[in-house]
Amino acid sequence: MKITKIEALANIATDIRIGAIEQVYEAQSGHPGGSLSCADILAVLYFNQMNIDPKKPNSPARDRFVLSKGHCTPALYATLARKGYFDKELLKGFRKIESNLQGHPDMNKVPGVDMTTGSLGQGLSTAVGMAIGSKMDSAGCRVYCLVGDGEIEEGQIWEAAMSASKNKLDNLCVIVDHNGLQIDGKVEEVAGLIDIKEKFESFGFYVLEIDGHNIEEIIYSLEAARSKKGLPTAIIANTIKGKGVSFMEGQADWHGKAPNQEQYEEAINELKLQLFI
């Protein structure tokens, strides 16, 4: 069922954020910052845009999603559970040894995961392969790949980008979660990565730059990508690391650490106040 109401999608994004914080707190391990920054994008993809059916997770006709920044599974797992791929209770097992919900997604263990990821920079290459395969089979599916802005410092990203452009993969949409921070600090200071829009354009992409927390802009950009023919699309989604939790917002320290009980309660209370009644 496609959800079109903006407030409903915003509530889903907030619920994804709550689920992400709960998982990281329960495990006392994980990556909250980047999970919170991409929640709005995942809400729109899974509940408004993608052709998917949780009852048929392996349908050949389904759209594909590759979480190239594979450490942000708290957001992905919360999304998949909310969509109905598995019971929400399973989120409590996040990162525990007996659980299938490990720190990075495993396509062989988790329903709804289209590609096992974790080694940064490789997800776009697999997404390109999926998009080429869909073209060859005339399957008609779209492929979405979410990458981090720190991740795109990897050279393999740009090799994949060249291949996407060469093969005119208009069924491929790359979304850059541009929150400006990575584990070592500001992206522009770690590797001097600037002008991301111009870089993708120079590699032959149709590029859009949006507010990655504005539901309407996310929908518009994905619809524009769908209608663009002959070129792959890159959406530069400007986001805030730790979005929705005041003491996590814009703080690189929250890239990969868990909140204590007091911080957890504060974060959950803040997020619950953001829900539309």
| 1 domain residue, yes or no | no
Task: Specify the pLDDT at position 276.
Answer: 86
What is the predicted pLDDT for the residue at 222? 98
pLDDT at 194 over 90: no
Specify the pTM: 0.97
Task: Supply the range of the domain harboring residue 190.
Answer: 6-273
Q: How confident is the model at residue 193 (pLDDT cuts 50, 70, 90)?
A: confident
**pLDDT tens digits, residue range 158-183?**
999 999 999 999 999 999 999 999 99
- CATH number for 104: 3.40.50.970
* In a domain? residue 247: yes
The mean of the pLDDT values for the chain is 97
Q: Would residue 146 count as lying in a domain?
A: yes
Kindly state whether residue 232 falls inside one of the protein's structural domains: yes
Both structure tokens of 149: 């802005």
How many separate domains does the chain show? Answer: 1
Residues 6+ apart with CB under 8 A from 195: none
What confidence tens digit (pLDDT) does each residue in 71-122 have? 999 999 999 999 999 999 999 999 999 999 999 999 999 999 999 999 999 9
Q: What is the mean pLDDT of residues 229-245?
A: 98
User: For position 105, what pLDDT does the model report?
Assistant: 98
Query: What does the pLDDT look like over 122-148, one tens digit per residue?
Result: 999 999 999 999 999 998 999 999 999
**b vs e for 47-77, b when ≥16 Cβ sit within 10 Å of the residue's Cβ?**
bbbbebeeeebeeeebbbbbbbbbbbbbbbb
Answer yes or no: is 45 within a domain. yes
